[in-house]
Structures are given as C-alpha cells and as structure tokens.
Chain A
Amino acid sequence: MGGPGGGTEDLPTPRPRPAQDTHDSHDAAPGCASCALSSGGARLARLGLAPGRHDHVVALAGNPNTGKSTVFNALTGLRQHVGNWSGKTVARAEGGFTYGGARYRIVDLPGTYSLLSTSADEDVARDALLFGRPDVVVVVVDATRLERNLPLVLQIRQITGRVVVALNLVDEARRHGLTVDARHLTRELGVPVVPMAARRNEGIPELLAAIAQVAGTRDAPAPLRLVHKDPALEEAVADLAGRVAGQFPGVPNARWVALRLLEGDPGIEAAVRDGTLGELATPAAPVERAG
C-alpha cells in the first residue's frame, strides 16, 4: 500500500469494473488463450486459475491481515509491499515458483473471513476454490487469532481436501504467550499444518514441502464432512446430496453443494442450471500432468 498508505504498486492495471459488479472480479490469466483446456478453460482463465505452462496451481487464501502477502512474497521472491492492515491487497497478485523440478503458479485470493458469499470478495474466493479447483489451497492462518481464522479453514476443508494450513505469525503468538498445537490441528483437519513466521522466512521450506506433497498426491483427503446436529437438516442434506451425486457423478463435495442449495445460494444454483457443476466431476488434470 502506498505512500501514506496507498501505493503505486497496487496500481498497474486498475481493472475496468462497474461499481456494482459482484462477479468476475479478476482479470483473465495472461497467456491462457493458448492453453488447451476445452470448456473449462475459459472459466479457469476467468477465475485466474488456469495452469498455463505450469504443472500445479496453488491458491492462497486466508483472513485479511494474516500475512498472506508476506507468504506470497516468500514463496515467489517478489517484493510486493506488505501492509499491516486488513484489506490492503485489492489488486490480485499472482506469481510462480519452482520446487523439486515442478513449476507452480500461485494466485493470491482476496482475504475473507468466510465463504458465505456476503461480499464480492467472498464470491471471488469461493468461485475460485470451487470451480477453479486449484491443486493446492494454502490457507494462511493467524496463530494469534485462531478462533477467528478457523471458520474459513473449515469451510475450505468442506470444499476440498487439497489443503495446506500455513499457521503464520507463530513468533507473535509466542510473544503473546500462546502456543498452538500444530499436530493436534493436523489430526483434526486431516491436512498438513505448517507453523511458520513468514516475515522471518521461518517455515517456508516446510511449507514448500507440504505444498509439493499435496500437489503430487493422487488421493487427497475427502472434503470434511460437517455433521449437523439438527436431524431434520441432516436428513435433507443427505437426501439432496444423493441427488447431486446422482446428477453430477463424481462431484467430490456433494454434501457441501447440497447444503448450499438448501440455503438458496444463487451462485451454486446457477452452476446447477448451466451444468458447470459437472466440471467438478472430471478428475483434477494436474495430477496426470505432473505424473
């Protein structure tokens, strides 16, 4: 963020966008006119998650001001200015890095507290995670505010199992007298949790290793199955999830889709209507490419 607060570096392409637009908040990925993904290709490009010439696509999610930009810089070696406030990153950043011989494209999603689609940012992040199907979602979490950060992690886990949790700011937590049990979190969430202090480059090698492990695996954990205490709701979810799975065989997160439909989420309803939901059923391409 720039000068007294703003920044020319966020500026390069102030993207044309009508003020009330809520979708499509991102530019198409550069160079993707050439990438040979058929129907889904355009959509991926629009979401900014097309792999292009890379082997794996990594999406970076997290609450605002958890150090997402710092992690992004640490991974890509870029020196985007990092601010200490929420909502600093308006223009989306993307970059790439190479690790263990594979090329990764990394896309910074808007910082959000949830995926309940109450704002344009949440829609963008939700669509990117659901329809973009990145090979790895790195969720950056503020170790000093775990309780406020976990709802987003849980929601992302309900969508996909290809998750790495970057437990950032552990140095700050330590200063505040907080110790976070990363192994316990790993067990509970079923995905790697990497403690780190991105500002000091601590934990970056471990994060890279975890990303590579998730990107390379063929059997990522299944999406988290949130059990609802309410029997009537549980029954309705189970019923509808069966129908979703019947109509779109292979959709990995049918229960999540069912729940969203029950809540009347317009984005998901549209995806059902135009059939884009079916794209979720095709196996994730990168696994095959990477070998």
Chain B
Amino acid sequence: MSSDLLDEAARLRRALPDDVGDRVVESLYTDAARLASTSVDRDDARARLTLDRALDRILTHRVWGFVAMGVLFFGVFWFTIAGAAVPSDLLYVLLVENGHAWLRDVFVAAGAPAFVTGLLVDGVYLATAWVVAVMLPPMAIFFPLFTLLEDFGYLPRVAFNLDRLFARSGAHGKQALTMMMGYGCNAAGVTATRIIDSRRERLIAIITNNFSICNGRWPTLILMGTIFVGAVVPPGLAGLVAAGSVVAVVILGIGVTLAVSWTLSRTVLRGESSVYSLELPPYRPPQLWRTLWTSIVDRTLKVLKRALMMAAPAGAVIWLIGNVHLGDASLAAHLVNALEPLGWVLGLNGVILLAYLVAVPANEIIIPTIIMLTLTLGANTVGAAPGVMLELGDDAAVGSVLVTTGGWTLLTAVNLMLFTLLHNPCSTTVLTIWKETRSARWTAVATLLPIALGFIVCASVAGVVRAFG
C-alpha cells in the first residue's frame, strides 16, 4: 500500500517539468524576499556598516590582509611573552624552589620512607609544580587574547584570506576553519571537520590538522622562543624576536598544511575541490569581561587541569625510571643513552626523545618532563652537545637548567620548536581521528606522517647547521 503512494508520486513527478525542485526553491526564496522587504525599514544611519566595510577592506585585502594577520598574531604572542615572564618567575620561586623544599621537610619530619618522599614529592609534586609554573602564566594571557580576536569576528577573515590557498592546494576552503579550531585543540579540530561533506577533503583536513599548534604546544613554543631565541639578541629586542620566532613556526605550520594538502590531493586523495560559500559575520565588539571569564574558566583551567592530571603520573614515572637502577645506571639513563644517537641526528637529545615517549598522553607536559629528566639525570649522564653555549641571566631558571645541566644549544631549542610542530598527535587526538574515520589506515597515516616529516626536517636542519657551524 505504501508503495502505491510512492508509485503515484513517481507518476505525478514524471508529468511535471524536470526543474520542479528548482521552482519550489525559487518560490520559497521569492516569498522570503517579499516578507523581508515588507518587514524591514532602512534609514540612513549606516555609519557602522561603512566601518565594517572599511575594516574588511584591510583585513581581507589580498596583500594587507596577510600583513594584518601577521601583525595581529605577532602582537598576541609578544603580549603573552612579555606579560608571562614575571608571574612565571614568581610561581617558580613559590612552587618549585620554596614549595618543594618545604614539602620535602614536612615529609622528612613526618618520618616518611625515602621512596614515598621521592615518589610523591620529587616525582608527583615537582612535576605538577613545574606544569603550573611553566604553563599557567602564558595560557592565562594567550587564551583570553585569542578569544577576543575570535569574538570580534576575525577568524572567519583569516579563513577567507586562506581560502584561495586551500582551494589551490586541492583542499576544501572550510579546512581553514577546522585549522583555526585546531589552534585550540587538535581533537576538537578533527571533530570539526564534520562540516566538510566530501570524504576526500575531510580526510585531508583531518590529516593536516595536527600542523595547527594546539593549546598543549603553545607553551613549549613560547618558552623556547623566550629563553633561547630571544636570548641571542640584546634584551631590548628579546621580546620581539621571541614572538617573531613563534609566529615563524605558526606560518611554517600553515605552509606545511598547504604543502601536505597539495601532495595528498594530487596522489592518494585525488579529486575536485568543492565549492562553498563562506559567510563573513559582522564585527562585533567583544564582551571583555565575559570573554576573560569564559576563557579563564573554560579554556585555561581546563587545559591546566588536563596537564596536571597527566603530569602527576608522569612525575611518578620520571622519578621511578630515574631511581630504579639496572646495573650501573638508572633506567632513565639507559633509555636516554639508547635514544641519544637518534636525538643527536635530529639535533635534539636523548632526554627530549624520552620526554616525548613519557608525554604521549598530553603534549602539555613536555617541558616539565624534559626539565625533570634533565635534573634527575644530572650533567654527567647527558653527553654535552658541541655548539655555542648560551649565556642566560639568573632569572631564567628553566633556561639555566637546560643549558648548564642539559647542554642545550640554540640548535636544540630551534629543533625542539620544529619538532613541537611536526610530531605525532597526542593520544586523545589519535583516538578522535580513529573515531571520526573508522579507518586504521588513515589513523596511521595521520599519526605517522607528521613524525616522519619532523624527523626529516629536524635532521636536515641539524645537518646544515653542523656543516656550516
């Protein structure tokens, strides 16, 4: 009986012109237009509109749009770097120097066994203290600033500027939007690729999302830029150069995104680019206090909480591998020594590679892990890399640990910045990729491709620097 209805529909449809669907849509839009024109009154106070237009003329200009983009992002990073220095030092003195010593005294006074004190105080507490000291200040400044840009309506303009480049690289223009989401969190960015309907273009967007620096990786970049890159120029310029180095990595990430998209769309994921319309929302004055509130509560504290939850067990692991001895050396020393040759080739070191293994669950804790491993192992176990040693001021606590104890050079820091951009996604993102694609093969590609690129780029940079340095 129900099929009768469908048959009848098919019969009637055959009797109608082919474009009946178009006509229905047309009459819908005609109706809408009529209703809109009879309901809306326009007067001549159009000042705001012209301001919007003037802004768009600059911010989406073929040339000035990119200049404005660079300046705005540069400003955000500079503000973050300049503003985070003092509170970071304060937190370091409070939590790492004094807090750690005080807690240790309490445990010793209470007669706790040595391994309990080690595991809880030197492992768990110290790792979480480092995470707070290293990450909280930059995050608390960076996230609100970026949210303000977002609420203002700037991000779709970036997408608009980049759209042409994405289309030319065979990807979907909306990938610019998912890329923006990735700057917050790659797992969110991967989920956001649902807005792309074509499977081909969606896969490209998923695979390249990792080249957007996420919440967990910003602190590493900002920190490396501040204490190493900024330190090679006179103090007056340090902030500017440091911010510039972070912007450079971001731009490199966009370049890699486009290059990988281009390569994929001409090899394994061949096909046409879809056409879509991107709506540019009006500029809206951001609500300052609400933005500050939500970005502190929703973003900063959430990321910090995740980092702390990952840092606590990682701290325990670091203490354990640093204090369980096999033969003549600790487990950590064995692992670091085994990874050292590969680390050298990449212009990094064994400690950094081990830190990446320990910190697979969350990129957030890379720097604290590196610092703790370096401190645990001491100078004698880590082969000092040849190169220019850096002179750092006393206040750069993190930097002096890495330089004097870890034997870090400018090359190590720059390559760590590159490796921060180019390595496997965190485990949450990998899981999300699998859930979204339901394909072990594409998940593997999305996981291994970035790290392969990272190896190639870091090894090349190290080779070139050593050949000429």
Report which A residues bind B (CB closer than 8 A). Answer: 1-11, 14-20, 25, 64-65, 79, 81-87, 90-91, 114, 116, 119-121, 144, 146-147, 150-151, 153-155, 172, 175-181, 184-185, 188-189, 199, 226, 228-230, 232-233, 236, 239-240, 243-244, 247, 258-259, 261-264, 269, 272-273, 275
Contacts and interface: CB of A to CB of B under 8 A. Distances in A.
A90 B294 contact: no
Nearest to A87: B195
Contacts of B156: 84-86
B242 interface: no
Contacts of A226: 27-28, 31
Contacts of A272: 2, 5-6
A153 B28 CA distance: 10
Contact of A7 (B9, B185, B195, B297): B185
26 contacts: A3-B143, A3-B146, A3-B215, A4-B212, A5-B180, A5-B181, A6-B212, A11-B185, A17-B435, A19-B437, A20-B199, A86-B156, A87-B174, A146-B35, A147-B37, A172-B282, A176-B49, A177-B45, A232-B17, A233-B20, A236-B13, A244-B5, A258-B9, A261-B9, A263-B24, A264-B9
A4 B38 contact: no
A263 B21 contact: yes
Contacts of A188: 35, 38-39
Interface centre among B1, B39, B188, B281 (most CB of A within 10 A): B39
Contacts of A184: 38-39
A291 to B, nearest CB: 35
Contacts of B152: 84
Nearest to A230: B23
Query: Which A-B residue pairs are the 3 nearest by beta carbons?
Result: A2-B184, A6-B184, A3-B184
Contacts of B177: 5, 85, 87
B56 interface: no
Interface residues of B, number: 95
B278 interface: yes
B270 interface: no
A2 B29 contact: no
B436 A86 contact: no
Contacts of A172: 282, 284
Given A6-B188, A236-B16, A14 B435 contact: yes
Contact of A3 (B6, B183, B287): B183
Contacts of B31: 150, 154, 226
A120 B203 CA distance: 17
B153 A84 contact: yes
Contacts of A120: 194, 197
Interface string B123-161: 000000000000000000001001100111101100100
A282 B354 CA distance: 64
Contact of B183 (A6, A17, A230, A236): A6
A262 B12 contact: yes
A10 B192 contact: yes
A239 B199 CA distance: 40
A272 B218 CA distance: 53
Contacts of B109: none
Contacts of B395: none
B441 interface: no
B290 to A, nearest CB: 8
B47 to A, nearest CB: 8
Given A3-B146, A233-B16, 20 more contacts: A2-B184, A2-B185, A4-B183, A8-B184, A19-B438, A79-B294, A146-B35, A147-B36, A150-B31, A153-B32, A177-B42, A179-B40, A185-B35, A188-B38, A226-B27, A230-B23, A232-B17, A236-B15, A239-B8, A244-B5
A57 B38 CA distance: 32
Given A177-B44, A178-B42, A6 B182 contact: yes
A83 B48 CA distance: 21
B187 interface: yes
A5 B17 CA distance: 46
Contacts of B143: 3
A196 B98 CA distance: 54
B24 A86 contact: no
Contact of A146 (B16, B40, B279): B40
Contacts of B32: 147, 150-151, 153-154
Contacts of B101: none
Contacts of B194: 17, 25, 90, 120
A172 B35 CA distance: 20
Contact of B185 (A8, A86, A259): A8
B334 interface: no
A151 B32 CA distance: 5
A15 B436 CA distance: 8
B215 A8 contact: yes
B25 interface: yes
A5 B183 contact: yes
Given A144-B282, A264-B13, A247 B185 contact: no
Contact of B3 (A18, A177, A273): A273
